[in-house]
Structures are given as C-alpha cells and as structure tokens.
Amino acid sequence: MDMNTAKLKKNAFRVTKERGLAASRIRVPGGHMDARFLAIIQEIAEKYGNGTVHITNRQGFEVPGIDFTDMPKVNELLQSIIEGLEINQEEMNCGYPASGTRNINACIGARVCPYGCYDTSAFAQRMEKAVFPNDLHFKIAFTGCHNDCAKVRMHDFGIIGMTLPQFDPNRCVSCGACVKKCQTKSVGALTLVNFRPERNHKKCIGCGECVLACPDAAWMRSKETYYRLTLLGRSGKKNPRMGVNFIKWCDEESIIKIVCNTYEYVKEYIDPNAPGGKEHIGYIVDRTGVPEFLKWALRDVTLPEIAEVSSPLYWNGIRYSE
Amino acid sequence: MGFELSTGGVNAFLRELARTGRVVAPVRFEGGGAFTGTDCVRYAEVTDIENVVFDEKSRFSFRELLLPPSQTLFYFTEDSITEPTPETRDTIIFLRSCDLHAVKRLDEICRGGANPDYYYEQRRKNVKFVLMGCKKAFDSCFCVDMGTNISDNYDLSIEPDGDGWHLDCKNAEWEPLLRAQGGTETPVTPAHVTETKTRVSIPDDLDFSVAKSKLWDEYDKRCIACGRCNFSCPTCTCFSMQDLFYQDNPKTGERRRVLASCMVDGFSDMAGGVVYRKNHGARMRYKVLHKVYDFKKRSGFHMCVGCGRCDDVCPEYISFSHIVNRLGDAMKEVSEHAE
C-alpha cells in the first residue's frame, strides 16, 4: 500500500496503530456547535469508522477505524460540518487542512454558565479568524472566569474573563454577602468599611462573585468586558509549566494583536531544526529572553488605561531532566 | 374619564408632569442583570413612555421609592444635626395592580399606627399612581387568589393598545393635560387578569401550630438566606439603623436606615448573642407566616399581594407560592400529631 502520510495528516486524519486505518479529526472552534452536526459524525463513524467516536481534549471529535480508501467519502460527508463551523478549507469536498495552530478551546462561558464573564466561544471564533490557518504550534484557550475550567494556563495564551464591579452605594443594604463570598470563594478584595464594602482594586481579579452574591443589585457588571491574558503555559516531555500572569484588565483588540504579533516573533526565532517545524513558544522565549519577546508581542498595542502588565515574567514548572 | 392617546401625546403629557414632579417606572437596565449579558428591569426616572417596560415584571418593586434600600436620615456634627433636603416634587409611580395593593400594606405598616413613620410620610404624601394594566399574568403571579388583581385607587391607568395608548384618568388636574395633548375621550376600563397559572390556597384552619410541621426543615438546607425574596418584595418594610462616623473626621457622621431581611444572618440576633431563628427553615416559616397568616390577624388582610417576585428571584428555586400550597398538608400533619 502506498500512502503519503504527510498529506494524510495535513488533511486532518491521523495515522493510527492499525495498518491501513486512519482516524478523522473534526475540530470544533470554540467548542460549541449546532447539534445537527452530531448526526453527520455518527454517520461517518458507523459507515466508515468502527462505530465509535473519541471526544478529544481540544474540543473536537476523532472518528477511528477509517480505511484509507474511504477518506475521500469521509471528506465529502465532512463538507457541511466544515461549512457550518466555518473551518478554513482549501478545496470543496476535500476535507480541511490540519494546522500547527491547535483548535481554539473555550469553556461553555457566558452563553450558559452563570459565572462566565463573556461569550467564550464567540471570542474563540474571532481569534480563530485572526490566526487560522497557520502551521506554527500555538495553543490558545478561553475561559469565562478565574475558575479557569478550560485550564487556559496550560496554553501559550490563556484568556480569562473579568468584569470590573460597579458599586451603587444607594442600593447597598449591608448584608455582607459580597464580602463573605469574595473572602471564601475568591481573593478577599472586599472589606466592610462603615457598613459598606470597599474594593481593593489591586487585589480584585474581576471574577464577579460580588455581583452574583448581591441580593439588591448594588454591585453590577461593568459595560466593558476585561480579560486577564496569561502567557506560555505548556505540557510536554521537557519542562511543563503553568502560564503566568501577563496583562490584567486587558481588552479584546489588544489580545488578538498580541497573539498575531507573536506569530511574527516565532517565525523570526523558531529553531529551524525543530522536529516537525514545531516548537513551543516558551522554549523560544527561553532562548531569546523575555525582553525581546515583549518587544515583538507588544508592537503597536495600545492597552486600555486600566491594564496592568506584569513585570518581570518568571516561569517555574517541572523539569524532568533534573 | 377614559382617553385614547398617541405615543407622542403620552410623552408630551409626561413632560407636563415632569415640570413639577418626577415620573418613575420600570425600565430596562441593559447589562444590569447579575449574569453576563442579562438585563434588569427596575425603577428609574423616565421621560418617554416607550422606555417603560410593560411586557416584563420588574425585578424590584416600586417599594424602593417609598422605602429606599439605604436612606440617610440625618447628618451629625458634634453639636448639630441636619436632615437631608426632602424630595418635594410629586413622584408619579407606574405600577401594576398587585403593587398598588402593596401600597395599602405599606400604608398600614408605616402610616397606620399611633406613630406614623416620618420618613415614609415625607415621601408618601407626594406620590401619585399610574396603574399599568395587565392583559396577561406572568407565570409566577398569583394576584387573583390574593384578591389583588383589580385596582381602582389610581390617578391614571395606562396600557398599550395597537400604536397608541388607553388611559383612564381619575385625577381631575390631569384631565385637561390629557385633552391638551390630543387625547380623545373614550370609555376605558384598565385591563386586569382573571386567571393565573400559579394558584395558591391558604388553608382556612391555618394557625401557628403549623410552625411545628416538618415542612420547614427542608429549607434549612435549601435556603441560602440571601434575602433576595425580601429585597424584591413590595411589602417588606423591615430596616436596620446604622450610625457611622466619617473616616477623615470621626466627630461627624450620619445615621442611615437600610432595608433588613428576616432571611439574612443577623436579623434576629439579640444582645448577649442569642439568635432566635438560626436555622434557615425557621426564617422561612417566620416570613411565610407573616405574609399569609399573622399580618392578617392584625390588619384584616394578607400582607402578600401575589406578585410572585420572590419566586422569580430565588437563586435556589424555592417557590413561596409552593410553600403556601403546602400549608394545608402541614396543618394535617401537626393536627394528627396533636391527637
């Protein structure tokens, strides 16, 4: 049997353990889609696969057991999913090009979750439009609040939703619910002063627990949505580590710009001999030093006045070699 | 006198009223809900009738205009006190029939006794009411069973009708204003609902022995004692006092009164550390029975007006009307035990 495996992989299939069988990989940008696509995935699995579907860690579906010869038919079935999810495509009915930049994850966010500070899937999809398709190995994830259910700190770029709580003293009834919630569930940024909560802006992480706790709408969400951008978390066999705080009270436009700028930085500095042309950004930053990275990442970025940029940036993590 | 009036006519009328008063009505606060991307309908000053929300129930009631959540009663220095300048303009309040019946409760509580509430009176005396007709009840409403679905003690009634508005004016001073805005006379009876999806029945034999029922125990765990039911209720009037001293000059300060909730920690705390109703179930019992039992013993009518806001706002999905409907079984349970 002759099969160009590089082409197969580039067409969003996996070469599996079983000789001659592939797995079709269907990514779901932002992790949210119309239920009707499930029926197509079922059809692919039952007609061409082994009848099972794996739900992937990056919010996609992987349909195993597909005979190499059936891949064109699978691609035809995939067409309506690709169109419906607006996945980048080069040629109709031929599947879609897999990409070094991974599917952009999102927790369920404000579409459903009471804690979510923004529509995570929608922002993920806007980010996708800005960066896809791209061969560079970038992992980006969106989470609605500081609970970080999407584990964004394990990504190169983690986006955490924030709201800037607005206080109307005339509605406060001094019940203390906000202070208690902030203390027990969040960072303890609130204290009662003269019977009313006082917010320590330095401490506050904009989680919105005070807004949710307030029984009289004395606390409200800000009109603007803010984000915390975390930087260069990763897993892997060398030095897994959590992403660190980069910008607090950041805005959407700046985040997209920073990510796009980082692609330029990586193109400039990636190890030309990196296996498969992929290198975690963090290792590149380890090599060039943080100041050089920041020079590229923050080029032409105008942060909102409220934004706080962490400095210096230090990563820790686990080193298997030690 | 009934009138038919265009939107422009109603707005011109509201502008006339705004010369000497403030018009307050339920309006939509976009993004004002606790959850992201949700609105909050609550009271604020309006100039245009289009901004008054008719198709949704307000999260909070008109009550906060008569009894604000937080109100400074006076400021003090070492040797003097100063009262804030009271609102002297008319306050024209848009509200539904259930809420207009709630005014009767507030009046009974705050004006009824030998010592009327001075601060309530200050606000109450300048209030005029505009009844918002209800063509259809909301899911949680139970005004019909509480007998609050019809009101006639309004200055004006208003409801949308096609492109225009139907109004019934009982305020003699306002009639010429309506005519001047091109109002055409026509008989108008304010819309009211005659049936509600939620029904309640308060048992005739209800008495305080129901306090011994196991019914309340369930709420020890389910209720989180947040007080949303009280703060949204149009008939809750309880308040606490706060004397506070300004941080930059502790010799001056102010006295405030703020709404209190019988569901929230601290309400039944006594000197010496005694807490009368520690369990949330006991607080629920206290609240429910006050709304549909003991208040009536004193005043002759129930405190609850069946607006259903407490059901709408409970984050734990505890339904007040459901509890009321369980009282019959609870009475049976305690009477069987008594035998």
pLDDT of A111: 97
Q: Do A155 and A118 fall into the same domain?
A: yes
**Do A154 and A231 belong to one domain?**
yes
User: In chain B, what are the domain boundaries?
Assistant: 2-185, 208-338
Question: How far apart (Å, rounded) are the C-alpha atoms in residues B202 and B210?
Answer: 12
Whether residue A13 sits in one domain with residue A40: yes
With beta carbons under 8 A apart, name residues in chain B contacting A171: 69-70
> Do A128 and A50 lie in a common domain?
no
**Which of A220, A247, A265 is where one domain is finished?**
A220
For residue range B317-328, list pLDDT tens digits in order. Answer: 999 999 999 999
In a domain, residue A91? The reply is no
Strand, coil or helix: B258: strand
Residue A316 domain-assigned (yes or no): no
CA pair distance B302, B293, nearest whole angstrom:
7
- Does any domain span residue A72? yes
Residues of chain B in contact with residue A213, where contact means CB-CB under 8 angstroms, are 226
Cis? peptide before A133, omega within 30° of 0: yes
Domain that holds residue A297: 105-162+225-309
CATH number where A119 lies: 3.30.413.10
Average pLDDT of A88-109? 93
Question: How does pLDDT run across B89-110, given as a tens digit for each residue?
Answer: 999 999 999 999 999 999 999 9
The percentage of chain B sitting over the pLDDT mark of 90, rounded to a whole number, equals: 95
The whole-angstrom separation of Cα A303 and Cα A226 is 11
Q: What is the pLDDT of residue A321?
A: 78
CA distance B36 to chain A (A): 6
At residue A277, the pLDDT reads 84
pLDDT at B78 over 70: yes
The predicted-structure confidence for B263-314, as pLDDT tens digits, reads as follows 999 999 999 999 999 999 999 999 999 999 999 999 999 999 999 999 999 9
Mutate to test the interface with B, among A164, A171, A180 (most CBs of B within 10 A): A171
Of B35, B69, B256, the CB nearest to A171: B69
- Mean pLDDT along residues B198-205: 95
- Minimal Cβ distance to B36: which of A171, A216, A221: A221
Q: Which two tokens stand for residue B223?
A: 């209720």
Q: Taking CA atoms, what residue in A is nearest to B310?
A: A215
- Number of Cβ pairs < 8 A linking chain A and chain B: 83
Assess whether pLDDT exceeds 80 at residue A106.
yes
**Do A175 and A44 share a domain, yes or no?**
no
Contact flag B247-A194 (C-beta cutoff 8 Å)? yes
Distance from the Cα of A108 to chain B's closest Cα (Å) equals 13
Nearest to A195 among B32, B228, B242 (CB): B242
In a domain, A181, yes or no: yes
Q: Are residues A171 and A153 in the same domain?
A: no
* Chain B contact for A194 (CB, 8 A cutoff): yes
Interface membership of A57 toward B (CB under 8 Å): no
pLDDT score of B206 more than 90: yes
Answer yes or no: is pLDDT of A70 > 80.
Answer: yes
Q: Is the pLDDT of residue B339 over 70?
A: no
What's the structural domain count of chain A?
3
- Asked whether residue A156 falls in the same domain as residue A190, the answer is no
ipTM of this predicted complex?
0.94
CB of A106 within 8 A of CB of A30?
yes
Q: Whose structure tokens read 């990504």?
A: A155
Omega before residue B250 within 30° of 0, cis: no
Question: In this model, does residue B336 exceed pLDDT 90?
Answer: no
A177 and A150 in a single domain? The answer is no
User: What are the structure tokens assigned to A51, written together?
Assistant: 């009848």
pLDDT at A100: 87
Q: B218-276: per-residue pLDDT in tens? A: 999 999 999 999 999 999 999 999 999 999 999 999 999 999 999 999 999 999 999 99
Are the beta carbons of B35 and A174 separated by less than 8 Å? Answer: no
Q: Specify the 3-state DSSP secondary structure of A142.
A: strand
Q: How confident is the model over A13-47, as pLDDT tens digits?
A: 999 999 999 999 999 999 999 999 999 999 999 99
Distance CA B45, CA B285 (A): 36
CATH of the domain at A32: 3.30.70.3340
Identify whether residues A61 and A153 lie together within a single domain. Answer: no
Same domain flag for A134 and A274: yes
CATH of the domain at A204: 3.30.70.20
Residues A196 and A266 in one domain: no
For residue range A107-134, what is the model confidence (pLDDT) as tens digits?
999 999 999 999 999 999 999 999 998 9
For residues A42 and A46, give the distance between their C-alpha atoms in angstroms, rounded to a whole number.
6
- Distances, alpha carbon B15 to alpha carbons B26, B88, B164, in Å: 17, 18, 17
Q: A255 and A302, same structural domain?
A: yes
